[in-house]
Structure 1
């Protein structure tokens, strides 16, 4: 081997050794160690189960030193951000019921991208110092016992893509600063005590999933929602007023759940010819009538439609039997009258063609009268989920599975509602 070749090999060997040295001896940044210590110190010792991640955190060895203490890295991830030093980039605590307060920790982990302490028993308020996690992409605090107001400072996390605050005890309003979360794709705040009017979040151009259910929101449905929404649920609140016409502008929307509110007025026709909507749930409101779409639902993408427990009146809307993909329809507990349209019966009992058949058809709790369509009489249990109970139908004995589970209304009740019922 020549002298020149030996020199090159020695040089390459030194580079390899140098990289190995920095990888093995990459010390954790002192500030990160302090935050990890403060996190463990703020917990109730009795909530740290033996064998859990936190039980292995004794800080006698360097947290990010994979060679000497591999078990110690349980619950977080370290990356060598600068030569010779490692920074904590991910914290994920296993859901074993850790109890304590987040406020006792001064969060200063600027390289953390994922912070997940969900499904534990943390209590108290969310500290403003979480806003120091400036590179955070995912923040998950769901299913704890956190309370107080949602910090306005969370709106400064400009890289945040996923935010989970659901299943806690948060109160107050949604901070207006949330409009600054331009990278946000998923927001879950359901099952809290958040109140006030639902804010305008139309500036969140990347938000595709929003669940604000089971809170105390009041006022109207906001007329300006992110046009990128694919799924929007705000069920079980105290919203009032009419449905906004500009729901057609949510061109990617597939799932809309506004049930269990106090909404009223018409169910607007744009919902029945929406370009992408597949699942619509408006049950348990005060809607009084339906607007018939101009194309009679022939271009509808709806697969499941639930309008039960409202104040809808008139004849059953025949156009719903023309919706090509509709397979689940619930119109229970309204004030519909008239006879069951033959189109409904055929869509249940005679599958085929270019349209989906009704696999679920729930019409109970109305004032439908007349005979049961003959095409339904030959159906056997299990063929489809059909319910016609609590109506004014002529002869609906329990020998038919769709008449089981409830009687028909009395003749007195039927005639008091609609004298034309025979």
Structure 2
């Protein structure tokens, strides 16, 4: 096993290349294979994309890349720290977002590299299998390029990886099931690709706290088990279907944000979701949920701040419990099928909240079948104090003199009676 020591000066080099390649000096402080990789990387770029002043423009291989930190030959884009057998090894390679185009098909053999980030460019082609040689890598950033093909399962061998950014590319296919081996992974971003298939179980990633799979083509059910370490989940704009099972949520005690907007989830919005101790934001709009389960305890200690359940198929009477949630300040139930009268507690929380209770700053109830009179406390609400919307219901007298009645008509008497004969 190689022992490595760090130089006292800890070379910090950030480099940018020149247009001409020359032979490298024989007695080099930089490991020859590291220099060769930098040359390969430059050779695979479209020369037109290497603009003057960009990072790669300053790379000049007539000088030792890792031995010019304090000279006028200093270049940018990498860092050299590890000294092995008298030679210096690259530990970080970061390209500036300068619009480089080309492929990443160089032979990636940098065993001491810990950070590789080439995000915000126009790299194309598949993700190289040779990335599996980067065995000490802790951060891999490939965001916002034009990468294609499938995610290679060989990435699963990067056992030290903590952050993986593959978002905003044109990647296709499923997430490799072998990703369960990435047990040190803390952040996984794959949003805005064309990934598809059923989501694999990621429950073994017990250090993962941020997961974003939004804007893809995933199908099947919401995962039955997820890492208990998760703080934020975003899977919006996919084609997930079926019920959101309480068992998949119960142990997510650190979860603060869940966003499943624009899928095809159905059945109940489970009460277990509202009982998660750390949850702050819930976004489930534009799904097919049919009813909303109330938590068992009406005396709520929830920390939830914002709930968006708009544009579903939710029916029945408006539930009382949102008005009892002490920190809830934004509630959207628009464009569902709720009936009945608006509970007075909704109005009191908006206009006259109790001490220690957050008021409704955003209360959106339009597009339902609510009927009856407007709760009297709302009559005292002044424009600009809260965003309240009650349009497109079956309310008795909602004149445009009230700002929360502006922007649309109430449903016709005929439409209201067709929906429910109990609407007066």
Normalising by structure 1, what TM-score? 0.92
| Residues 73-222 of structure 1: pairs in structure 2 closer than 5 A | 73-82=75-84, 84-103=86-105, 105-222=106-223
> Is contact 1:142–1:165 with CA below 8 Å preserved after alignment?
yes
| Residues 185-264 of structure 1: pairs in structure 2 closer than 5 A | 185-246=186-247, 247-264=249-266
Aligned residues: 402
Q: Is the deviation greater in 270-279 or in 197-206?
A: 270-279
| Residues 4-19 of structure 1: pairs in structure 2 closer than 5 A | none
- Indicate the SS of the match to 1:154: helix
* Distance in structure 2 (CA, Å) of the matches to 1:62 and 1:397: 77
2:412 aligns with 410
* Cα shift at 1:67: 4.8
> Is contact 1:219–1:239 with CA below 8 Å preserved after alignment?
yes
- Indicate the SS of the match to 2:179: helix
CA deviations 1:260-314 (Å, max 9, x no partner) are 1111111111112222211111111111111121102612221111111111111
* Distance in structure 1 (CA, Å) of the matches to 2:8 and 2:302: 61
Q: Which protein has the bigger helix share?
A: 1
Q: Superposition RMSD on alpha carbons, in Å?
A: 1.8
* Cα shift at 1:166: 0.4
1:292 aligns with 2:285: no
1:317 aligns with 319
Distance 1:389 1:190, change over 3 A: same
Q: Is the deviation greater in 41-50 or in 268-277?
A: 268-277
**Larger Rg computed on CA atoms:** 1
User: Which runs of 5 or more residues in structure 1 are unaligned?
Assistant: 1-17
* Distance in structure 1 (CA, Å) of the matches to 2:304 and 2:163: 28
* Distance in structure 2 (CA, Å) of the matches to 1:345 and 1:81: 68
* Distance in structure 1 (CA, Å) of the matches to 2:172 and 2:47: 28
Distance 1:71 1:182, change over 3 A: farther
User: Which runs of 5 or more residues in structure 2 are unaligned?
Assistant: 1-6, 13-26
* Distance in structure 2 (CA, Å) of the matches to 1:226 and 1:365: 37
Distance 1:26 1:353, change over 3 A: farther
Normalising by structure 2, what TM-score? 0.92
* Distance in structure 2 (CA, Å) of the matches to 1:196 and 1:175: 10
Q: Is the deviation greater in 248-257 or in 351-360?
A: 351-360
Q: Is the deviation greater in 400-409 or in 60-69?
A: 60-69
- Indicate the SS of the match to 2:348: helix
Q: Is the deviation greater in 398-407 or in 66-75?
A: 66-75
